[in-house]
Amino acid sequence: MTDAANGEQNALIPRSVGERLRSAREKQKLALAEIAARTRVPLRHLEAIENGSYDSLPSPTYAVGFVRAYARTVGEDEVSLARDTREEVARIGRPVAQYQPYEIADPARVPSRGVVIVAAGVALAVVVLAVLWFAVGMWRNSGSAESASVASAPAVVAPVPTATPAAAQNPASGHVTLTATDAVWLRVYDADDKTLYLGTMKAGDKFDVPADAKDPKINVGRPDKLTVTLNGSALPPLGDGSRPIKGIAVSAAALSARVSGTPAAAPAAGATTPSGAAAAPTSTPARPAAFTDPKPAAPAPAANSAAPAGTPPGQ
């Protein structure tokens, strides 16, 4: 086949958009870098257009726009070249992508998926540990502050409202139960300062004072959050909660004596005086239920005083 025949055959084959643009550029003796500077299109995108590599461009829309700018620079028909560009892209079958950035990120600079997952896991673990550390610190600080306030506060017996005395047939062997209505710190100990209970009770927690404990006593930060029962009967609160209390006896005998208003160790009824004469039975009126030491009643004046001798009756 002669060269003339080859030229005629090549003329029948339509040239691609990239070839037409390259031919126009070479006729004007322009370098591709000059086209990139004039159109402000990246050099790699212009090379892709000349080579027909539309799949390396951001999207078909960008490809058409780049071709238009290239065609205007070299003096070609931008309308026909844009139409041919759409047809070439359609023949390639490249799906039309949604919006993408003008400059795609360099994959070499983007961390791998595994690195991202590990970093996220480490960050989450750090956050969880920080929250736990803060919560434990707050709990320790609140417990130590309440204990310090109880230890440093003076022992005060707060007045309580009047309540019905609890009926107990044998107070000395009664059953004493401490029940928390809210979170409350307390310490129960005996006469030898042996701790029977120490800690913070939650709402609903109970502690039974041992019946054989020797003179048990209690220190409590918030007495208004503690219910005391004797043989199942509720007693008045140990305090109103305005301040902690310390050294309050919680034995069955002591609680029964405080409620009834009589001393814990009362003399037996019917005891005789040293002279052998029968002692006049005098009783102290029952006082309202309050956790304060009872005071002896003032002696009452004689009901009938002897009249002076020689005084007529009726005067």
Please tell me what DSSP assigns to residue 103: S
Q: Look at residue 39 and tell me if it is in a domain.
A: yes
Note the pTM of the prediction, 2 decimals. Answer: 0.32
pLDDT (tens place) for every residue of the chain, 315 residues total: 445 444 444 444 568 898 999 999 999 999 999 999 999 999 999 999 999 888 888 888 998 999 999 999 999 999 999 999 899 888 876 544 544 555 545 555 666 788 889 999 999 999 999 999 888 888 887 766 666 665 565 555 555 555 444 444 454 568 899 999 999 899 999 999 999 999 999 999 999 999 888 999 999 989 998 999 988 888 888 888 888 999 899 888 888 888 776 655 543 444 333 333 333 334 444 443 444 444 444 444 444 443 444 444 443
Question: What's the total number of domains in the chain?
Answer: 2
**Beta strands, E only, the chain:** 176-180, 184-189, 195-201, 206-209, 217-220, 226-230, 233-234, 245-249
In a domain, residue 65? The reply is yes
Residue 193: the pLDDT is 92
Torsion angles phi and psi, residue 23, rounded to 5? -60, -40
Give the pair of three-digit tokens for residue 78.
Answer: 């931008």
Measured distance CA(146)–CA(200) in Å, rounded: 10
Q: Which domain-ending residue is among 260, 275, 298?
A: 260
Residue 214 lies in a domain: yes
Q: State residue 191 phi and psi, 5-degree precision.
A: -65, -25
CATH of the domain at 40: 1.10.260.40
Could you give phi then psi for residue 18, rounded to 5 degrees? Answer: -65, -40
Q: Do the Cβ atoms of 245 and 251 come closer than 8 Å? A: no
Q: Is residue 294 part of a domain?
A: no
Contact of 175 with 202, CB cutoff 8 Å: no
Which DSSP category does 271 fall into?
A: P
Asked if the structure places residue 266 within a domain, the reply is no
Is residue 271 a part of any domain in this protein? no
Answer with the one of 92, 116, 131 that is the final residue of a domain.
92
**The domain boundary residue, chosen from 92, 117, 143:** 92
Give the pairing type, strands 233-234 and 226-230: antiparallel
Contact between 219 and 187 under an 8 Å Cβ cutoff? The reply is yes
Which residue segment(s) compose the domain that 228 sits in?
171-260
Q: Is residue 98 part of a domain?
A: no
Q: Tell me whether residue 25 is in a domain.
A: yes
Locate all alpha helices (DSSP H) within 28-112, ordered by sequence. Answer: 32-39, 43-51, 60-74, 78-92
